Amino acid sequence: MTATDTSSLPKRLEWQFARVCDIVAETRRVKSLVLQPVHWTGHLPGQHIDIRLTAEDGYQAQRSYSIASPPEDKLLMVTVERVEDGEVSPYLLDELRVGDSLELRGPIARHFVWTNGLSGPLCLIAGGTGITPLMAMLRHRDRSSRRTPAVLIYSTRSLADIVYREKLDAMARSDGNLHVVYTLTREQPKDWTGHRGRIDRALLVANCFPPAQNPAIYVCGPTAFVEAVSGFLVELGFDPLNIKTEASDHQEDEIMANNVSDLLLGGDAATRLVQQLFVPDVTLAKVRCEACDCVSGVGALTVYAGPMGAVLNCADCDNVLMRVVDTPQGLWLEMSGTRSLRF
Ligand SMILES: Cc1cc2nc3c(=O)[nH]c(=O)nc-3n(C[C@H](O)[C@H](O)[C@H](O)COP(=O)(O)OP(=O)(O)OC[C@H]3O[C@@H](n4cnc5c(N)ncnc54)[C@H](O)[C@@H]3O)c2cc1C
């Protein structure tokens, strides 16, 4: 199997144990865990895993963490930021030791994936630990002989909060096709000559590839950050279908939550979403998956909510069948993962 060949990925996600091989301090609030799962058949840059902790009394808590390592690495890396009163992140940062085991399942979701095979320039926009899945993409890109022109625009509170700073700077120094732009929102060193404040339209115009070049754009960070940046990008004329978003935080509302099962909206949501786009009744429509060729009713698809709409996945192999992107400029339907839709 090649690094990005997913033909042998498991169809159903099962929990498995992974050994903690290393723990790396990245910043004062962030550590990376290097893990060796018992069975790992590969992942794509941008996917995430779920980690599940079980207490002695049987109480379980599970959270999602983006994969920071590229598919080419044998070991899996996740990068965790401390949430002070959190249930899971303080345990992962303070209690977990090298040699311990933890439970995980994955890789999960294909709606936020980039591989070297995709054409066009790459524009990555991160807020805080939203850098994690983008780092997997940059590491994957770095391993390739064909380095797509790329820009990373990365917003953190202070210089000390930039995760992977040395690695990013080293990548940018050795690669003329990679441009890294930091912006510090709260504290800047006295001699800081870089950007200050939040990412805004001007920063995007000055650093993104222009819309005419059709860059593939990936935005990851807290929900408010993702919503603001993707809104600016749409206003600036970037094709909404080229903008992929992932919220890396936990939201209080009932749709966005901190584990995949809580992101599921249910079969009725799929028919309601697709109904908006088609006059014929889609309740009985059948979708054929481009990846595994299985046929399922629209109501049986797995639906994930996202900041810009929703992603409808094959219930069998988790391939992204359709993306519904909802913007002030209109509703968009992308169906590249669907072989056919029969009414
Ligand atoms: C697809 C996906 C990928 C993710 N990838 C990463 C990753 O790579 N690295 C990472 O560190 N986290 C990531 N997360 C977030 C992670 O799943 C947990 O939500 C986070 O670690 C907090 O869990 P906790 O149990 O410590 O806190 P909880 O017990 O869940 O939360 C405690 C309190 O803190 C609030 N809170 C939770 N998360 C945050 C936050 N990020 N910022 C501010 N307040 C918060 C909650 O609303 C609550 O009030 C990801 C989430 C998703 C959905």
Average per-residue pLDDT in the chain?
A: 86
What's the pLDDT tens digit per position in 111-156?
899 998 888 899 999 999 999 999 999 999 999 888 899 999 999 9
Instruction: Tell whether the model's pLDDT for residue 5 goes beyond 50.
Output: no
Same structural domain, 155 and 232 = yes
pLDDT at 3: 42
* Nearest residue by C-alpha to atom 30 in ligand 1: 86
Same structural domain, 237 and 135 = yes
User: Which single residue is written with the structure tokens 């940018």?
Assistant: 172
Within-domain flag for 64: yes
What's the pLDDT tens digit per position in 44-63?
999 999 999 999 999 999 99
Radius of gyration of the chain (CA): 20
Same structural domain, 46 and 101 = yes
- Ligand 1 center to residue 221 CA distance, Å? 11
Q: Which of 108, 138, 169 is the last residue of a domain?
A: 108
Q: Is 63 in the pocket of ligand 1 (CB under 6 A)?
A: yes
CB neighbours of 328 closer than 8 A, spacing ≥ 6? 234
- Banded pLDDT at 260 (limits 50, 70, 90): very low
* Nearest residue by C-alpha to atom 50 in ligand 1: 248
Within-domain flag for 279: yes
Tokens of 98: 């090298």
- Ligand 1 center to residue 259 CA distance, Å? 9
Tokens of 299: 């109501």
pTM above the 0.75 mark? Answer: yes
Residue 198: how many other CB atoms lie within 10 Å: 13
Q: How far apart are CA 140 and CA 184, in angstroms?
A: 26
pLDDT at 261: 47
Query: At 133, is the secondary structure helix, strand, or coil?
Result: helix
Within-domain flag for 255: no
Structural domains of the chain, count: 3
Q: Is 50 in the pocket of ligand 1 (CB under 6 A)?
A: no
CATH of the domain at 24: 2.40.30.10
Q: Which of 86, 108, 130 is the last residue of a domain?
A: 108
Query: At 128, is the secondary structure helix, strand, or coil?
Result: helix
Same structural domain, 194 and 278 = no
Q: What domain range is 95 assigned to?
A: 16-108
- Ligand 1 center to residue 83 CA distance, Å? 7
What's the pLDDT tens digit per position in 149-202?
999 999 999 999 999 999 999 999 999 999 999 999 999 999 999 999 999 999
